């Protein structure tokens, strides 16, 4: 399973996003997609149960996510921070998501919070360096089989 993209959403906007492989054919407005994803997650969780929805599955890809809370400079209470990845869809994904992807998403959220709690989160340019953390967290899970074989040989 290949991680195509990883990112963090806050208040319906993308704070950090790292694309490893294209998952769309055209240019997509990042803020529009972030707002839509946030709305879908909120709808699914209010309709079903907060812990019931772990990922959404399509024909080619799936989006797995975790939620956390973070304090922003302009807020008195912690607000929702969503960590997500877009993966290639394969059979038997539940175990992979539960054992590998969810811990990585939680680690991503934890590292981001440790560096940015209490900051002004509306200035997203300050988070560009965090993309390096994503590379370290997801490591070889971002490589295709061909890329892994080239690296080995």
Domain architecture of the chain: domains with CATH: 3-152 (3.30.450.70)
Do the beta carbons of residue 17 and residue 5 sit within 8 Å? yes
What would the pLDDT profile of 29-77 be if each residue is shown by its tens digit? 777 888 888 888 878 777 776 665 678 888 888 989 898 999 999 888 9
Q: How far apart are CA 17 and CA 61, in angstroms?
A: 17
Q: 125-148: string of b/e by CB count within 10 Å (b at 16+)?
A: eebeebeebbeebbeebbbeeeee
pLDDT at residue number 28: 74
Global pTM reads 0.84
Assign 57 to helix, strand or coil: strand
- pLDDT reading at 132 higher than 70: yes
pLDDT at residue number 110: 95
pLDDT at residue number 153: 64
């Amino acid at each position: 399973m290949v991680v195509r993209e990883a990112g963090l959403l806050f208040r319906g906007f993308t704070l950090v996003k790292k694309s490893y492989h294209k998952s769309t054919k055209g240019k997509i407005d990042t803020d529009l997609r972030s707002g839509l994803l946030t709305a879908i997650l909120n709808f699914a969780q209010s309709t079903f149960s907060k812990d019931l929805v772990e990922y959404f599955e399509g024909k080619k890809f799936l989006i797995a996510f975790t939620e956390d809370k973070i304090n922003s400079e302009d807020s008195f209470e912690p607000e929702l921070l969503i960590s997500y990845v877009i993966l290639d869809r394969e059979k038997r994904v539940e175990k992979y998501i539960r054992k590998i992807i969810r811990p990585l998403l939680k680690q991503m959220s934890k590292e981001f919070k440790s560096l940015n709690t209490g900051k002004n989160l509306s200035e997203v340019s300050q988070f560009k360096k965090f993309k390096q953390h994503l590379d370290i967290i997801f490591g070889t899970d971002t490589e295709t089989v061909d890329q892994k074989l080239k690296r080995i040989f």
